[in-house]
Amino acid sequence: MAARSTGPKRAIRARCGVYDCSACDLYRSGKCPGCGSGNLRLRRAGDELCPIYECVRLLGIASCHECAKTSCALGDRTKLKCQLRARFGGARPSPAFVRRLDRARGAASAAGRASGGFADRLRSYLRVVAEYERREVPVVSSHQLARSIGVRASLVRRDLAELGGLGTPGRGYEVGPVAAAIREALDLGRKRPAIWLGVKGAIDWPSVVDALRAVNCSIVGVFDDDARGKVMGTLTVQPLSRAAVEARRIGATVAVVASERAVRPELLEGLVDAGVQGVLNLTRLRLDLPSRVAVEQCDLGSQILRLVSRLGGS
Amino acid sequence: MAARSTGPKRAIRARCGVYDCSACDLYRSGKCPGCGSGNLRLRRAGDELCPIYECVRLLGIASCHECAKTSCALGDRTKLKCQLRARFGGARPSPAFVRRLDRARGAASAAGRASGGFADRLRSYLRVVAEYERREVPVVSSHQLARSIGVRASLVRRDLAELGGLGTPGRGYEVGPVAAAIREALDLGRKRPAIWLGVKGAIDWPSVVDALRAVNCSIVGVFDDDARGKVMGTLTVQPLSRAAVEARRIGATVAVVASERAVRPELLEGLVDAGVQGVLNLTRLRLDLPSRVAVEQCDLGSQILRLVSRLGGS
DNA sequence: CAATGTGAAATTCTTCACAGCG
DNA sequence: CGCTGTGAAGAATTTCACATTG
């Protein structure tokens, strides 16, 4: 449990109570910033540093494993409470951040729109940061992010600062923690049972399931009157009339409307009553739902309109 | 050529130089507000009224057709220049409006986002107004619009006022002209040749063509290496390598990327060089294009992310 | 009475500029 | 030297309130 620096380019790996970061759920989830920058932040905040971190720094070694002493003055290190765990385990986004996100969400839910630029930017940041994560780049600067998504660096800093100080001056933002923080802010960790309404001609079902799983949506029911009994993956198609009942039973919060046959006012109303909070509408029909329900209209016509309305001049 | 009121509920029908509104392109395009409200606006602006309108109002008749006189003091009415035509034939959106829209567009193009709420609202207004148009409701109030899309009425008024005074106090907004004005502001009237890249398994080609046509996009080329020679509607699938050349030749400004096979950096770059300004990306792959090109990402994964990130709490 | 359109205020968002850290 | 975080300024957007109109 100490910082180990394995080269100038590698991120500092933290050991943290559990003796090995790769076994630490906090670190794996990206919430733990690691001993290095983590303790830095603790110090800045006036909090106590991690005694293990102080010790190994003092001894000039990289990790307890390199300590030659036969007994440790710190006692059983597994018993030590990690300040980082204690401090960064919880939620950090500032109240202002939450307000802003809520506002952005509200604005968005208004009209099938996706305004409230802030929420959109968060998704953009996440997209870019996730890419860095995949490539195992440990740190990204506000300028890089800004260039990638086409905004000013100052705006990126403003946005990310509110996530809870995940940046280090002179260095940049830790990729993992930032990704995790945005995911948490958008509540992507929450499991969202989804039901699928309408089985269109040919769907690449596995890729559909994948796409939904990426945001923690698992399809728990497929409904259609015309393809009754058909088997989609592990699920059997059921009649639409059972959709609401099943949605309630399973606690589905998301519905995907994939065919015009499924667009029936009573049916959708029933789903909303059953607890569905968001609907992804793949048909060109307009859904008329209470404004508390988020509807994403994404048929080809709407998309092309969105595109064209951005072209304009010349 | 005069106003004729055929009942309290019907909108005022205008006759305008061409003797019959249904033959007047200005009126059919929705740009002519009609003699009634049109002359009202002329009066307010201190301009001359239409002499024909004044005449029939004076005589208490509804139209020249009802005039008993054998010779008209106004002479050949077809020679009279209609003030409404002169005044409302051109563009009216205020400079402020144009600035705002440009800003919104710029913001949107930044990150595949669709921020700049204003442009989004315009689309929402258009959606609602088009619906009223279809149902032949002549007038809509800011409150109705506001309720439909979930914003304040005052905001609707601010937005629409900049379109050029299409509202009448105590009455509301003329549905046709508002729709036309928004369409013009978004430049939906412009013809946009589009090319289609990648032929996926099963497409309902006619409905695709329809969706694009609704925004004046006509597909002028289909490209794919694996389905070469296949016939889509009136077009024959050509090899992808010809896409850029053809795009330039035909002057395509929009491209739809429908299959991952078509996502090749050189290819897309070539298209941009050839003049493509907007790309609708139906694949899950990220397109890396210069920021002056508008890209709409609309695979299932992105859409579900957009939806889920709007759900959040509870 | 039921609407619009619009100054003016309020609010929110973005940018600038720079202190301070590594 | 490069980069973050943040006051303060600036800009844009939204709301309020009301004069005005039909």
pTM of the full predicted structure?
0.74
The residues, any chain, with a CB within 8 Å of residue B37's CB and separated by 6 or more, are B12, B168, B171, B174
* Proximity of residue A152 CB to strand C below 7 A: yes
pLDDT tens readout for residues B109-131: 443 333 368 888 999 999 999 99
Q: What digits encode the pLDDT tens for the residues B66-111?
A: 555 655 655 555 445 555 555 555 446 666 777 777 777 765 544 3
Residue A8: per-residue pLDDT: 25
Residue B12 has pLDDT above 60, yes or no: no
Whole-angstrom Cα distance, residue A177 to residue A163?
A: 10
Residue A2: predicted pLDDT: 38
pLDDT given at position A90: 45
Strands A192-197 and A217-223: parallel
Distances (CA, A) of A151 to A41, A124, A298, B100, B116: 27, 11, 26, 18, 13
Q: Which of strand C's nucleotides are less than 7 A from any protein C-beta?
A: 1-6, 12-17, 19-22
B15 interfaces chain A, CB cutoff of 8 Å? no
Pairwise pLDDT comparison (A28 vs B110), residue with the higher score: A28
**Per-residue b or e along B157-169, where b marks 16 or more CB atoms closer than 10 Å to that residue's CB:** bebbbbbbbbbee
Query: pLDDT at residue A191 above 50?
Result: yes
pLDDT of residue B53: 62
Question: What is the pLDDT at residue A15?
Answer: 36
d(Cα B224, Cα B212) in Å, to the nearest integer? 19
For residues A293 and B170, is the Cβ–Cβ distance under 8 A? no
A235-244 — which CB contacts under 8 Å span 24+ positions?
A: A237/A199, A240/A197, A240/A264, A240/A267, A243/A195, A243/A197, A243/A267, A243/A270, A243/A271, A244/A270, A244/A271, A244/A273, A244/A274
Q: Which residue has the higher pLDDT, A110 or A67?
A: A67
B110 close to A (CB below 8 A): yes
What is the mean predicted confidence (pLDDT) over B252-278? 96
pLDDT digits (tens, 9 = 90+) for A115-161: 368 888 999 999 999 999 999 999 999 999 999 998 999 999 999 98
For residue B273, what are the CA distances in angstroms to A149, B4, B247, B263, B276?
A: 21, 54, 10, 16, 7
Query: Measured between beta carbons, which residues in chain A are less than 8 angstroms from residue B212?
Result: 300, 304
The whole-chain average pLDDT of chain A stands at: 78
Distance CA B4, CA B34 (A): 10
The residues near B178 (Cβ < 8 Å, ≥ 6 apart) are B30, B125, B129, B140, B160, B163, B166
Does the pLDDT at position A33 exceed 70? no
Q: Span B156-170, mean pLDDT?
A: 88
Q: Is A263 helix (H, G, I), strand (E, B) or coil?
A: coil
Q: What is the 3-state secondary structure (H, E, C) of chain B?
A: CCCECCCCCCCCECCCCCCCHHHCHHHHCCCCCCHHHHHHHHHHCCCCCCHHHHHHHHHCCCCHHHCCCCCCCCCCHHHCCCHHHHHHCCCCCCHHHHHHHHHHHHHHHHCCCCCCHHHHHHHHHHHHHHHHHHCCCCEECHHHHHHHHCCCHHHHHHHHHCCCCCEECCCEEEHHHHHHHHHHHCCCCCCEEEEEECCCCCCCHHHHHHHHHCCCEEEEEEECCCCCCCEECCEECECHHHHHHHHHHHCCCEEEECCHHHCCHHHHHHHHHCCCCEEEECCCCCCCCCCCCEEEECCHHHHHHHHHCCCCCC
DSSP string for A155-188: HHHHHHHTTT--EETTTEEEHHHHHHHHHHHTTT
Amino acid identity for residue B168 in this structure: T
More confident residue, B13 or A116: A116
The counts of H helices and E strands in chain A are 13, 10
Residue A304, min C-alpha distance to chain B (Å): 7
Overall average pLDDT of the A4-26 stretch: 38
Q: What is the mean pLDDT of residues A91-108?
A: 66
pLDDT in tens, A62-98: 555 556 565 566 655 545 555 565 555 544 666 677 7
**Which residues 6+ apart lie within 8 Å of B61 measured at CB?**
B2, B67
Nearest CB partner across the interface for B115, out of A102, A115, A313: A115
Average pLDDT, chain B: 77
Instruction: Please state the φ and ψ torsions of residue B93, each to the nearest 5 degrees.
Output: -50, 135
- What's the half-sphere exposure (Cβ side, CA atoms, 13 Å) at B93? 22
Q: Average pLDDT of A232-243?
A: 94
Q: List, in sequence order, every residue forming a beta bridge with B193; answer none if it has no partner.
A: B218
Q: What is the pLDDT of residue A216?
A: 94
pLDDT score of B141: 96
- Range scoring the smallest mean pLDDT among A8-17, A154-163, B164-173: A8-17
Q: Is the pLDDT higher at A19 or at B312?
A: B312
CA B28 to chain centre: 14
Contact between B88 and B26 (Cβ < 8 Å)? yes
Q: Which of A107, A294, A306 sits opposite B307 (nearest CB)?
A: A294
Q: Is the CB atom of residue A93 positioned under 7 angstroms from any atom of strand D?
A: no
Rounded to the nearest angstrom, the gap between the alpha carbon of residue B94 and the centroid of all alpha carbons in its chain is 17
Q: What ranges in chain A are assigned the alpha helix state H? A: 25-28, 35-44, 51-59, 83-88, 95-110, 117-134, 142-149, 153-161, 175-185, 205-213, 243-250, 265-273, 300-308
Predicted pLDDT at B34? 56
Mean pLDDT throughout B163-189? Answer: 89
Subunit contact B311:A254, Cβ cutoff 8 A: yes
The residue that minimises its CA distance to C1' of D21 is B169
**Confidence tier at A168 by pLDDT (50, 70, 90):** confident
**Residue B313: closest CA among A175, A99, A64, A11:** A99
Cβ neighbours of A123 in B, within 8 Å? 305-306, 309
What proportion of chain B, given as a percentage, has pLDDT over 70? 65
Question: Which of A14-23, A208-217, A265-274 has the lowest average pLDDT?
Answer: A14-23
- From the CA of B10, how many Å to the nearest CA of chain A? 27
Answer with the residue of higher pLDDT: A259 or A88.
A259
pLDDT higher at B261 or A25: B261
Q: Which nucleotide is nearest to A117 (CA to C1')?
A: C13
State the Cα–Cα distance between residues B178 and B138, nearest whole angstrom: 11
Q: Are A281 and A299 in contact (CB under 8 A)?
A: yes
Residue B185 has what pLDDT?
87
- CA–CA distance, B186 with A312 (Å, rounded to integer): 6
Are the beta carbons of A287 and A279 closer than 8 angstroms? Answer: yes
CB-closest option in B111, B212, B279 to A121: B111
Looking at chain B, the whole-number percentage of residues with pLDDT higher than 90 is: 49
Q: What angle do CA A284, A202, A237 make, to 5 degrees?
A: 90
Tokens describing residue B116:
């700049």
